[in-house]
Amino acid sequence: DAKTTQPPSMDCAEGRAANLPCNHSTISGNEYVYWYRQIHSQGPQYIIHGLKNNETNEMASLIITEDRKSSTLILPHATLRDTAVYYCIALMNRDDKIIFGKGTRLHILP
């Protein structure tokens, strides 16, 4: 599975869109991009995943660049409850084991 790189931390004002970048320049054509988040004192929670097309669900949107070397997770209207560590993971197969990196610590500022 391809290595991903994320900034260690980011700030975002409450009510604004939070845009979390992820670099996966060595991703192969059939690797998925998954995003999880971990709120303090809880286990990680799945957010969204995608292969080539942009995806949207009730939690977030995932924008994958055309060359698939990077992606952005968008939380459209960030709230204080979105303060968490966000992990971007590349997976060759949806049944592959998930290896977590250090993620991005997102602080939502009131």
- CA dist., res. 2 & res. 33, Å (int): 10
Residue of 18, 85, 88, 106 interacting with another protein (CB under 8 A): 85
Residue of 53, 67, 94, 110 interacting with another protein (CB under 8 A): 94
For residue 17, the tally of other CB atoms under 10 A from its CB is 12
- CA dist., res. 98 & res. 31, Å (int): 13
For residues 16 and 78, the answer to whether their CB atoms sit within 8 Å is: yes
Footprint on residues 14-53 left by another protein (CB under 8 A): 32, 34, 36, 41-46, 49
Q: Which is nearer to another protein, 35 or 78 (CB)?
A: 35
Identify which range of 15-23, 58-66, 70-78, 97-105 contacts another protein by CB under 8 A: 97-105
Min dist CB 93 to another protein, Å, is: 8
Phi/psi at 81 (5° precision): -70, -10
